[in-house]
């Protein structure tokens, strides 16, 4: 089944489903990406920080797939922000990938504390003009970061790759992107270990009762939201986040629109690596357990006579 595409604000397109290689062992990357290409993936997402661009490049070279049928994303790491550092970083990434240009180049994190992402974005504009990146975008940017780019530079990012899943829907950020022609790309679209562990712990503390909901309509995942303000902390806690297939959203639809059916992964043999690609795309669905309240006692003596019942633990759904 062909994978649908979405159109960037610069006129280029991106496959709606991609294969990410975050936390894939560099020694295993070539084999795993080869498997992904064999089952039909054509959008591969890597980053300099992952340390496996070389494996991606070798898999591309050996695949025999025409370059114009592939869509390759890589990202600039925090320590490479700045004008000359960005120029050097893209050259090194292209060398490892064995490519003349990537289809999409992203600033991995804004890192506002360094105050270099605007300067870096101007360098990205030059990288794009030099033909080393067909399209340029950002990752993990907040609304205020995007507004700075709009105020201080000439190019609107084509995409913002962010954490996005049923437990962290980021509706205001998605609506901002939709209003300004910025596609939203999801990493960890089915959640990831850090978020799932936070949820399970919270469920146990609450005896399985539903958690509170924030004013934006997102479940109250304060630990995950706090981590979102600290890129290094969140990245360190994201166990295998980008091994899930990436999903893109082109709009800001609410409610059940967020749960709509999306294209299935390409059919065929699943990658052999159990912790990557298709086999990692499993969701844990929280199902609240119905509980019947004990009958009210008619007197203090009767209340004492009622047996004490230990609250049963809430259960997460099957993996």
Catalytic sites, residue numbers: 50
Q: Give the pair of three-digit tokens for residue 53.
A: 């661009």
Residue 304 neighbours by CB distance under 10 Å? 8
Which single residue is written with the structure tokens 């020694």? 27
């Amino acid at each position: 089944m062909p994978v649908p595409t979405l159109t960037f604000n610069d006129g280029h397109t991106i496959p709606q489903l991609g294969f990410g290689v975050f936390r894939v062992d560099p020694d295993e990357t070539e084999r795993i990406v080869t498997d992904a290409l064999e089952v039909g993936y054509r959008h591969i997402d890597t980053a300099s920080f992952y340390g496996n661009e070389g494996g991606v490049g070798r898999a591309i070279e050996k695949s025999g797939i025409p370059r114009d049928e592939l869509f390759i994303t890589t990202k600039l790491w925090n320590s490479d922000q700045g004008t000359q550092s960005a120029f050097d970083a893209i050259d090194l990434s292209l060398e490892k990938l064995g490519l003349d240009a990537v289809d999409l180049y992203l600033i991995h994190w804004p890192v506002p504390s360094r105050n270099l992402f605007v300067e870096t974005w101007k360098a990205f504009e030059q990288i794009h003009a030099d033909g080393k990146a067909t399209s340029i975008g950002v990752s993990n940017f907040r609304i205020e970061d995007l507004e700075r780019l709009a105020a201080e530079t000439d190019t609107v990012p084509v995409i913002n790759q962010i954490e996005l899943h049923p437990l962290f829907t980021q509706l205001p950020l998605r609506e901002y992107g939709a209003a300004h022609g910025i596609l939203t790309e999801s990493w960890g679209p089915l959640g990831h270990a850090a978020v799932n562990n936070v949820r399970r712990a919270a469920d146990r503390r609450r005896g399985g009762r539903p958690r509170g909901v924030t004013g934006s309509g997102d479940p109250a995942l304060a630990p995950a939201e706090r981590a979102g303000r600290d890129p290094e902390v969140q990245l360190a806690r994201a166990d295998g986040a980008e091994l899930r297939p990436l999903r893109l959203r082109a709009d800001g639809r609410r409610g059940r629109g967020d749960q709509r059916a999306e294209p299935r992964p390409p059919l065929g043999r699943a990658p052999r690596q159990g912790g990557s690609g298709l086999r990692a795309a499993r969701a844990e669905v929280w199902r609240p357990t119905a509980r019947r309240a004990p009958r009210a006692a008619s007197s203090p003596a009767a209340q004492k006579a009622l047996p004490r019942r230990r609250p049963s633990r809430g259960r997460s759904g099957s993996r």
